[in-house]
């Protein structure tokens, strides 16, 4: 019984550590994806702004 309880405790610790690491990886991945999406949007908007500025300056 003591052996089973010890194994159960070790399993819980391993699962908890894995869950924490998985949560951190998932969060960092989501943050990275969000930053990438925002960067692409900002670059696209800035490119459109420059394109319009050049177009209107030519006219």
In the chain, where are the structural domains located? 1-59
For residues 25 and 33, give the distance between their C-alpha atoms in angstroms, rounded to a whole number.
12
How much is the pLDDT for 33? 92
How much is the pLDDT for 56? 78
Closest C-alpha among 21, 25, 23 to residue 33: 25
How much is the pLDDT for 1? 52
Q: Which residues of the chain have pLDDT under 70?
A: 1-3, 58-59
How much is the pLDDT for 59? 55
How much is the pLDDT for 57? 72
């Amino acid at each position: 019984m003591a052996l089973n309880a010890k194994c159960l405790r070790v399993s819980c610790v391993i699962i908890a550590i894995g869950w924490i690491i998985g949560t951190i990886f998932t969060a960092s991945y989501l943050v990275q994806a969000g930053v990438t999406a925002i960067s692409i949007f900002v670059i696209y908007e800035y490119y459109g702004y420059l394109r319009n500025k050049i177009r209107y300056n030519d006219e």
